[in-house]
Amino acid sequence: MHKVAIVLLVLAVIGAAVFWFVTRPSVVSASALGPHTANLDNGRTMFYAGGCASCHATPDQDDKTKLGGGMALKTVFGTFYPPNISSDAKDGIGSWSEADFVTAMWKGVSPEGEHYYPAFPYTSFQRMTLADVRDLFAHLKSLPAVSGQTPDHDLPFYLKIRRLVGGWKFLFLRERPYEPDPNESAEWNHGAYLVNGPGHCAECHSPRNIFGAIIESKRFAGGPDPEGGENPVPDITQAGIGNYSQADIERVLETGDTPDGDSVSGAMAKEVGSTSKLSAADRKAMATYIKSLPPVQGPK
C-alpha cells in the first residue's frame, strides 16, 4: 500500500506539472513586432469589420466611440461583461503596449498574464495579420478615454479558475493566421479574411459543443443564440440562404434589409451598424465569400 501511495503521488505530481505546462499563458514579445507605421484609416476599417462597438461601447449612450464596456453578454455559461477598451490609461487600454494588444488579440492573454475567456473571440482574431492588429490598436488609442471599470463576470465558481481556460485553449485554439487560397480570386480571399478574421462571423453563426467550442464541420451552419435568446442564429451557408443573391447579402450588410422585405434584429442589427460603415468593396468581398459557402445543414 505504501508503494501504491508513492506511485499515486508521483503520478499526481506529474499530472499537475503537465497541466501547468499546457495551460501556461502564451505571449507575443515586443521584440517580435518590428517597426511599423500605423495606418489609422485601416485601423478604422478593422474597427468596423470587427464590430468592436457592438460589445464594448458604453451602454445607454449613442456615441459608439466611447468604449467603456459593461454591456451584459448573457450566455449558457454565465454573464460576461466586455471590458473597457477605451484609451483611458487607468481603466482602459491606454497604458498597454502594442505587444500587450497583439497578445490579447492573438493569444487571448491579458497584460497581467491571465487567460481571457473565449467569449472574447480571439479564436477568430488570431487569423488577423499583425499589421491589421497594430493598426486597430492605433485607432482605438485615438478614440476618447472613458473612465470606469466594468463588473466582474457572473460565472459559476468553477469557471472562475482562469487557468482552466488554458486547458480549453490547448484543446480548441489553433494558432493559425489566415492563409489565402491561391485557387480563388483576390476579392474572394479578401472577403474570406474579413469574415473569418476581424468579422468573426462564425462565432455566432456556428453551433458549439458542450465546451463552447465551434463545431468546425458545422461552421456557419447556424445554431442556438449564444446569448440564450429564443430565436436561433441563422445558417448562412447555401443551405440556409441559398435564395439570397450576392447583391442581397451586400444589402443586408449595408442596410440590414433582407430580400423578403424584413430586416435583421438583435445582435445582427448591431453588427450592421458597423458593416454599413465599411466600403462597398469590403461588403462586396464579404458577400462574395459568404455566397460561396457550400451548403451545411445545421442543428434543427
Asked whether residue 145 falls in the same domain as residue 43, the answer is yes
pTM of the model: 0.92
Find the mean pLDDT for residues 89-115.
97
Greater pLDDT, 299 or 140: 140
Contact, 178 vs 123, CB < 8 A? no
Asked whether residue 196 falls in the same domain as residue 158, the answer is no
The pLDDT of residue 239: 95
The pLDDT of residue 84: 97
Predicted confidence (pLDDT) at residue 19 exceeds the cutoff of 70: no
Q: What is the pLDDT of residues 74-95, one digit of tens each?
A: 888 999 999 999 999 999 999 9
User: From CA 148, how far away is CA 107, in angstroms rounded?
Assistant: 25
Task: Assess if residue 79 is contained within a domain.
Answer: yes
Question: Which structural domain, as residue segments, surrounds residue 287?
Answer: 186-291
The pLDDT of residue 16: 57
Asked whether residue 143 falls in the same domain as residue 54, the answer is yes
Q: What is the pLDDT of residues 191-224, one digit of tens each?
A: 999 999 999 999 999 999 999 999 999 999 998 8
Asked whether residue 164 falls in the same domain as residue 192, the answer is no
Asked whether residue 158 falls in the same domain as residue 235, the answer is no
Residue where a domain stops, chosen among 172, 200, 232: 172
Contact, 138 vs 43, CB < 8 A? yes
Task: Assess if residue 297 is contained within a domain.
Answer: no
Task: Assess if residue 179 is contained within a domain.
Answer: no
- Model confidence at 20, pLDDT cuts 50, 70, 90, reads low
Half-sphere exposure of 149 (CA within 13 A, CB side): 6
Half-sphere exposure of 87 (CA within 13 A, CB side): 11
Task: Assess if residue 22 is contained within a domain.
Answer: no
Contact, 219 vs 260, CB < 8 A? no
Residue where a domain stops, chosen among 126, 147, 172: 172
Range in 59-63, 277-281, 285-289 with the lowest mean pLDDT: 59-63
The pLDDT of residue 197: 97
Contact, 55 vs 73, CB < 8 A? yes
Q: What is the pLDDT of residues 156-191, one digit of tens each?
A: 999 999 999 999 999 999 878 899 999 999 999 999
Residue where a domain stops, chosen among 172, 197, 229: 172
Predicted confidence (pLDDT) at residue 229 exceeds the cutoff of 80: no
Task: Assess if residue 164 is contained within a domain.
Answer: yes
Closest by Cα among 53, 274, 269 to 143: 53
Q: Count the domains in the chain.
A: 2
Q: Using a pLDDT cut of 90, give the percent of the chain over it.
A: 80
The pLDDT of residue 299: 77
Task: Assess if residue 25 is contained within a domain.
Answer: no
Task: Assess if residue 163 is contained within a domain.
Answer: yes
Helix axes 163-172, 2-22, angle to 10 degrees: 70
Predicted confidence (pLDDT) at residue 259 exceeds the cutoff of 90: yes
Task: Assess if residue 241 is contained within a domain.
Answer: yes
Predicted confidence (pLDDT) at residue 154 exceeds the cutoff of 80: yes
Asked whether residue 59 falls in the same domain as residue 93, the answer is yes
